[in-house]
């Protein structure tokens, strides 16, 4: 399986699946993807990931992934995790990952993800007798590592080798209660390739504070230490390549070997090539939307999901306030020709994260609000914090010649301001009164009308309705994608393709063709930008006699001496306002 634009094999609500003895590379999504399925085995496969993962599960049960060799295309299209295991329904169970060689993946070697109803489940995934060799090569995916856990519970990780992993050998980012990590070799861990972050370069990092059980592991030469926010016992701190460890793996001088895992020379995984097969199928290609297995978008207006807040925000301490303030990015971004745009004011689209803390000894309360200033393609966010605190006082009163000290408490407040400035994308240009040029060629052999909107910039699609027929001219197509911090945007590419319904409309290039004499009152035109839909109500209608039978370019008619213009009408809001 190679050079596709989608999955290799996808199963859904299926049972008793075996996926084995396959070579796969340069696919457009996952190589094997099991959804809501049971009794799955994937083994003896040689996989190089490109767009996403090699083997993936979603809400599936009774699964065994074993004896596979997995690596990645090492560039920005190299995909993500080698193995991706997800639970959103609380139904994922009995999953075993063993005896695999996972080398130089782009994202994590194995990514465990639990969310929604999956958070109520203890999945108990077993990961054992695998070699994770230099996994997590990506410079733009923050959550790389040997095994990255985002919410699964009861995971057992034992008798594996993690050598040269980037970021962490095991990185626990959420939940993770009941996780057991034992009898592994964890050596030569290095920091993330491109993103500085908390606990990078550690052997095991428990960012969620889930009290991992860590015993009898061999730690050696990990760049920034062996552990973060966790403790271990029975550690072996010697070089695992010079003595026997409890992992069951042995270093031969050139590679790691284990009795349960097929041998492989590191760095010399067999190249993936075609099998010299001949494609004898016939293929009917209708249009670009039938070819590409992709969800396209005509809009940049996306309902923004969760943003990953960076571990190091801009922070400042005031007199009685500690403030954290950051501009994460902007909502509704469209990218066209490498330039980012937003719709309207940057302050309306800004994704701002802030927190405040009252540092006064006697706290009374704290209020805060945001304001914005836009200037020279930048946005300054101003956080104003009013902190109230109690002040102890002692006053003296005199009663019958006696001085008595009386304690009292008053309330004071301080107002402090914090600010941060960020560059903003360009504002998408507004379209003012889009205009259509409609030319009717009164030809006895081939009467036809040409509609031209090519003068309108920034259009995603043009929609035409005429006498029961429709046509759509696609000029930009976009697909939804996201940045490493989770900010979603629409990336547009230029195209020039048409779709038709009915028999009176056709199109080529930037021009719509209508058969026969035009009935102007039947013509309706709308155009769409990434942010709005606009009805075209202003257009010129020109009638030109042409007895040659040829379809002429309407832009040339004024220069052809044999032609005589006998009718020009100006239409506004569908009504003729001027006739010559």
Residue 281 has pLDDT above 50, yes or no: no
Lowest mean per-residue pLDDT among 134-143, 282-291, 366-375:
282-291
DSSP code of residue 430 = P
pLDDT tens per residue across span 518-575: 787 888 999 988 888 888 888 887 888 754 434 333 333 333 333 334 455 555 554 4
Count of H-run helices and E-run strands, the chain = 2, 49
Q: Whole-model pTM?
A: 0.50
Mean pLDDT (the chain) is 84
pLDDT of residue 409: 79
Given a contact cutoff of 8 angstroms between Cβ atoms, the answer to whether 514 and 537 are in contact is no
Percent of the chain's residues with pLDDT above 70: 87
Lowest mean per-residue pLDDT among 38-42, 96-100, 352-356:
352-356
> Which tops the pLDDT comparison, 404 or 37?
37
Given a contact cutoff of 8 angstroms between Cβ atoms, the answer to whether 202 and 230 are in contact is no
Q: Is 288 in a helix, a strand, or coil?
A: helix
pLDDT of residue 277: 37
Task: Give dist(CA 187, CA 191) in Å, integer.
Answer: 13
Q: How confident is the model at residue 216 (pLDDT cuts 50, 70, 90)?
A: very high
pLDDT tens per residue across span 224-270: 999 999 999 999 999 999 999 999 999 999 889 998 787 655 544 44
CA 510: distance to chain centroid?
Answer: 33
pLDDT of residue 54: 97
Is 99 exposed, middle or buried, given 0-12, 13-18 or 19+ CB atoms closer than 10 A? buried
> Which tops the pLDDT comparison, 343 or 202?
202
pLDDT of residue 555: 36
Task: Give dist(CA 414, CA 17) in Å, integer.
Answer: 67
DSSP code of residue 183 = S
Give buried/exposed letters for 187-209 (b at 16+ CB in 10 A, else e): bbbbbbeebebebbbbbbbbbbe
> Which tops the pLDDT comparison, 511 or 11?
11
Residue 89 has pLDDT above 60, yes or no: yes
Q: How many CB atoms lie within 10 A of CB 493?
A: 11
Residue 284 has pLDDT above 60, yes or no: no
pLDDT of residue 162: 98
- Boundaries of every domain in the chain: 9-258, 318-423, 429-579
Q: How confident is the model at residue 336 (pLDDT cuts 50, 70, 90)?
A: confident
Task: Give dist(CA 479, CA 486) in Å, integer.
Answer: 15
Distances (CA, A) of 382 to 189, 425, 487, 495, 564: 41, 19, 22, 42, 65
As a three-state string, the secondary structure of 542-577 is EEEECCCCCCCCHHHHHHCCCCCCCEEEEEECCEEE
> Which tops the pLDDT comparison, 337 or 83?
83
Task: Give dist(CA 410, CA 366) in Å, integer.
Answer: 16
Q: Is 258 in a helix, a strand, or coil?
A: strand
Locate tokens 């009663």: which residue?
399
As a three-state string, the secondary structure of 12-73 is ECCEEEEEECCEEECCCCCCEEEECCEEEEEECCEEEECCCCCEEEECCEEEEEECCEEEEC
pLDDT of residue 565: 42
Beta-carbon contacts of residue 575 (< 8 Å; ≥ 6 apart): none
Percent of the chain's residues with pLDDT above 90: 44
Lowest mean per-residue pLDDT among 279-288, 429-438, 466-475, 570-579:
279-288
Q: Is 346 in a helix, a strand, or coil?
A: helix
DSSP 142-155: SS-SSEEEES--S-
Task: Give dist(CA 250, CA 388) in Å, integer.
Answer: 64
The C-alpha angle 360, 363, 369, rounded to 5 degrees, equals: 85
pLDDT tens per residue across span 359-412: 888 888 889 999 999 887 899 999 999 998 888 877 777 777 777 776 777 888
Q: Average pLDDT of 83-88?
A: 96
Report phi then psi at 420, rounded to 5. Answer: -150, 145
Q: Is 470 in a helix, a strand, or coil?
A: strand
> Which tops the pLDDT comparison, 162 or 556?
162
Q: Average pLDDT of 64-86?
A: 92
Q: Average pLDDT of 333-351?
A: 87
DSSP code of residue 116 = G
pLDDT tens per residue across span 496-520: 888 888 888 888 778 888 888 778 7
Q: What dihedral do alpha carbons 371, 373, 374, 380 form, nearest 10°?
A: -80
pLDDT of residue 570: 53
Which CATH fold would you assign to the domain 9-258?
Answer: Pectate Lyase C-like (2.160.20)
Phi-psi region of 211 (alpha: psi -120 to 50; beta: other; left: phi over 0): left
Task: Give dist(CA 16, CA 355) in Å, integer.
Answer: 51
Q: How confident is the model at residue 300 (pLDDT cuts 50, 70, 90)?
A: confident
Report phi then psi at 135, rounded to 5. Answer: -80, 160
The bridge status of strand 185-187 relative to strand 161-163 is: parallel
DSSP 79-109: -S-SEEEEESSS--EEEEEES-EEES-SS-S
Q: How confident is the model at residue 107 (pLDDT cuts 50, 70, 90)?
A: very high
Residue 444 has pLDDT above 80, yes or no: no
Token code pair at residue 11 = 């199963």
Q: How confident is the model at residue 454 (pLDDT cuts 50, 70, 90)?
A: low
DSSP code of residue 146 = S
pLDDT of residue 522: 86
């Amino acid at each position: 399986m190679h050079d596709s634009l989608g999955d290799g094999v996808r199963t859904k609500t299926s049972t008793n699946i075996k996926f084995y003895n396959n070579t796969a590379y340069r696919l457009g999504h996952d190589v094997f993807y099991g959804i809501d399925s049971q009794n799955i085995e994937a083994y003896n496969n040689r996989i190089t990931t490109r767009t996403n993962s090699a083997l993936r599960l979603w809400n599936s049960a009774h699964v065994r992934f074993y004896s596979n060799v997995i690596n990645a295309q090492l560039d920005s299209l190299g995909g993500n995790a080698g193995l991706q295991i997800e639970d959103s329904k609380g139904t994922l169970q009995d999953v075993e990952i063993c005896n695999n060689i996972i080398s130089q993946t782009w994202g994590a070697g194995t990514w465990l993800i639990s969310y929604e109803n999956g958070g109520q489940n203890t999945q108990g995934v077993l990961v054992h007798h695998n070699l994770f060799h230099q996994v997590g090569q990506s410079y733009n995916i923050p959550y790389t590592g040997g095994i990255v856990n985002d919410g699964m519970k009861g995971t057992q990780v034992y008798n594996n080798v993690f050598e040269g992993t980037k970021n962490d050998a095991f990185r626990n980012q959420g939940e993770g209660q009941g996780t057991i990590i034992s009898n592994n070799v964890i050596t030569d861990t290095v920091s993330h390739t491109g993103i500085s972050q908390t606990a990078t370069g550690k052997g095991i990092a428990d960012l969620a504070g889930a009290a991992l059980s860590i015993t009898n592991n061999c730690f050696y030469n990990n760049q920034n230490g062996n552990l973060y926010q966790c403790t271990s016992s029975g550690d072996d701190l010697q070089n695992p390549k010079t003595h026997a460890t409890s992992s069951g793996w042995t270093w031969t001088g050139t590679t790691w070997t284990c009795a349960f895992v097929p041998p492989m020379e590191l760095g010399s995984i067999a190249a993936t090539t075609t099998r010299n097969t001949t494609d004898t199928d016939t293929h009917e290609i209708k249009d670009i939307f039938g070819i590409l297995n992709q969800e396209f978008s005509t809009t940049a207006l996306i309902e923004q999901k969760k943003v990953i807040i960076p571990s190091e925000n801009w922070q400042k301490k005031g007199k009685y306030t500690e403030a954290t303030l950051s501009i994460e990015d902007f909502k509704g971004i469209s990218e066209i020709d490498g330039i980012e745009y937003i719709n309207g004011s940057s302050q309306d689209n800004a994704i701002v994260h802030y927190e405040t803390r009252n540092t006064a000894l006697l706290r009374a309360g704290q209020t805060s609000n945001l304001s914005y200033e836009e200037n020279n393609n930048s946005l300054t966010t101003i956080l104003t914090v009013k902190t109230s605190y109690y002040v102890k006082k002692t006053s003296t009163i005199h009663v019958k010649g006696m001085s008595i000290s009386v304690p009292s408490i008053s309330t004071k407040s301080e107002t402090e301001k914090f600010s941060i400035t960020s560059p903003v994308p360009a504002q998408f240009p507004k379209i003012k009164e889009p205009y259509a040029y409609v030319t009717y060629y009164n030809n006895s052999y081939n009467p036809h009308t040409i509609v031209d909107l090519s003068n309108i910039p920034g259009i995603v699609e043009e929609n035409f309705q005429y006498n029961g027929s429709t046509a759509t001219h696609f000029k930009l197509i976009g697909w939804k994608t996201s940045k490493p911090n989770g900010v979603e945007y629409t990336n547009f590419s230029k195209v020039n393709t048409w779709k038709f319904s009915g028999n009176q409309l056709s199109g080529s290039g930037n021009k719509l063709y209508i058969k026969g004499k035009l009935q102007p009152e039947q013509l309706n035109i709308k155009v769409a930008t990434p942010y709005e839909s606009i009805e075209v109500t202003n257009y010129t209608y020109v009638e030109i006699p042409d007895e040659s039978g040829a379809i002429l370019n309407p832009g040339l008619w004024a220069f052809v001496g044999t032609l005589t213009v006998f009718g020009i009408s100006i239409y506004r809001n569908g009504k003729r306002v001027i006739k010559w």
